[in-house]
Chain A
Amino acid sequence: MYRTAANRLLHHASLIKISAGSHLRRLPILGTVITSSRFSTTADLQTSPNQTFHPSDSSTSSSSSSTAGDDSRHGSKNPRAEYEEEQARVLQASLRHVIKFGWSEEAMITGAKEVGVSPSIVGSFPRKEAALVEFFMDDCLQRLIHRIDSGEELQQLIPSQRISKLVRVRLEMQAPHISKWPQALSIQAHPMNVPTSFKQRAMLVNEIWHAAGDEASDIDWYVKRTFLGGIYSTTEIYMLTDRSPEFRDTWLFLDDRVKDAFDLKKTIQEATYLAEAVGAGMGSSLQGFVGKVFQR
């Protein structure tokens, strides 16, 4: 009871974080590609009239430019969302063509045609194919969160089973694209795209741990996420070459890895206890020894 309430809270928090994250993620990219992000962020719009970008301007022209900024601030609230919506629609349609064309411009051009937008819009994505892969990753994460929020099935499982279940649910989402997934991985591994793909994976792993009922915030936090990140990625790679029906081998592999990890955790814990015990024993015997020496 208590726990579900806490979970719900956590989910809401993480949802907000994600939406904020996805928003923030877009900004630095734009910022690096373009020198001016004035027209892509509301925050910048508000600050820009105060900053003097062009000191050579006379006062009249700078004031007129700031009013232009004001106009676009009022007007652009909706249109800005509009063009992003349009881009999302194009990407959504493009996903259907990935099987045929791969994660490529062709798929995006076909997608744009399908939704009745000029394929020129593809040029407005700063890192074209990466935008498609990242959209897919975000989409999958959203679906996973929905699944977590709606499903009662997780409640009966123990943490290790919950984790392997969630990883499985997530990986099953990319099963339709499995023949083209190596290409997606290579796009994600491109130096330009690594920051985003790394962040997306981190968010995914975080989400799974939260759903598994983990609320730790100590050093363990990093260890757990590193472990799960490793398990997720190795399973993802294993899946690429898995020819068994419905990826049965992959899920066995996944269960084994999760079990290994939990065993390792237990082993480490036992090792610590052992070390503590040995240390205590050593300590007391040393104390005794020293005491004896001094007594004499």
Chain B
Amino acid sequence: MALRLLTRNLRNRISPNLCSASLLHSHATSFGFKEVREEEKSQMVGKVFSNVASNYDLMNDFMSAGLHRLWKDRLVSKLTPFPGMKHLDVAGGTGDVAFRILESINSIRRRALQDPINDDLQEETRIYVCDINQNMLNVGKNRALERGLGEDKSLVWVQGDAEALSFEDNSMDGYTIAFGIRNVTHIEKVLTEAYRVLKRGGRFLCLELSHVEIPVFKELYDLYSFSVIPRLGEVVAGDRESYQYLVESIRRFPPQEKFASMIADAGFQKVEYENLVGGVVAIHSGLKI
């Protein structure tokens, strides 16, 4: 609670500066295929996610035929969580990734139950779920209650901006961002912030919808995303625009190679990526030394 207050204070202090700075030289950025002013994008994205929050997981299941669960599992298995970990999950409002990490840590703990050192460490485990959108965070908190994790001290819900994190330098062992970085206004700023908060040896992992280059599969995928998904959004969630934005923003996101070089430019080493389902999603990873 104190932390959240602190965050809000920090944010309030930071955001006026940011706003004035960005107003001075406002660049055009993309909102889906539309060109919008930079300062508008975050508001528009905010609106999209406020709209979809309640149906978010239902729609994810529909759109990816349940595959997003496997993708998130893969992300967590690449992360290798451990007891006592300080982890930051950005744009993870609904808690999907955070719950998985916690589960993984708990199973490790069960394996080494006879070891009293690990028990103490377990107490120190902190998974910070950071999201800019309060509606998404509320969904996540409710789900934590449903899962009986409401009292768990390991989960910390923080409202915050990925471009200006309220965490200290060198304070995190891991950083994940799943299906989030596509929606931010400045990808570089997010990467720099990720690099800043990570400890030496900490890892950055990013799960994101990416680019398909396999010939026939690409056509099928495009057909599916532009014809099926917006309609699906209309029928299931009653919101066509938000899902139109979703498929368009995927196309505007830098391709795997380009994004990997952006991660490397932010200072990360051993930058790698793995395509899943032929590039529909990609997991990028980097190591801070």
Chain B residues with a Cβ under 8 A of chain A: 78-80, 82, 85, 112, 173-174, 198-203, 211, 213, 255-258, 260-262, 264-265, 269-275, 285, 287, 289
Also in contact, A121 and B201, with CB within 8 A (given A71-B265, A79-B289): yes
CB of B101, distance to nearest CB on chain A (Å): 12
Chain B residues with CB under 8 Å of A76's CB are: 264, 269
Q: Can you list 30 residue pairs at the A/B interface with Cβ under 8 Å?
A: A33-B274, A34-B272, A34-B273, A35-B274, A36-B260, A39-B270, A40-B270, A53-B255, A61-B258, A65-B258, A68-B264, A72-B265, A79-B269, A83-B270, A109-B82, A112-B201, A118-B173, A118-B199, A118-B200, A118-B201, A120-B82, A120-B173, A120-B174, A121-B201, A121-B203, A121-B287, A122-B80, A123-B79, A124-B287, A128-B80
Q: Interface readout for A9-47 with B: 1 if CB under 8 Å, 0 if not?
A: 000000000000000000000100111101110000000
Chain B residues with CB under 8 Å of A120's CB are: 79-80, 82, 85, 173-174, 199, 201-203
Partner pick for B257 among A53, A116, A124, CB 8 A cutoff: A53
Within the assembled complex, what's the spacing in Å between the Cα atoms of A68 and B271?
A: 14
Within the assembled complex, what's the spacing in Å between the Cα atoms of A71 and B267?
A: 11
Within the assembled complex, what's the spacing in Å between the Cα atoms of A3 and B90?
A: 65
Partner pick for A34 among B80, B174, B274, CB 8 A cutoff: B274
Chain A residues with a Cβ under 8 A of chain B: 30, 33-36, 38-40, 53-54, 56-57, 61, 65, 68-69, 71-72, 76, 79-80, 82-83, 86, 90, 105-106, 109, 112, 116-124, 128
The answer to whether A39 and B272 touch across the interface, beta carbons within 8 angstroms, is yes
CB of B90, distance to nearest CB on chain A (Å): 16
Q: 6 tightest CB-CB pairs across the interface, nearest first?
A: A117-B201, A118-B201, A123-B80, A121-B201, A118-B199, A34-B272
The answer to whether A57 and B203 touch across the interface, beta carbons within 8 angstroms, is no
Chain A residues with CB under 8 Å of B255's CB are: 53-54, 56-57
CB of A61, distance to nearest CB on chain B (Å): 7
Chain B residues with CB under 8 Å of A90's CB are: 201
Chain B residues with CB under 8 Å of A122's CB are: 80, 82
Within the assembled complex, what's the spacing in Å between the Cα atoms of A65 and B254?
A: 11
Also in contact, A38 and B203, with CB within 8 A (given A106-B112, A124-B285): no
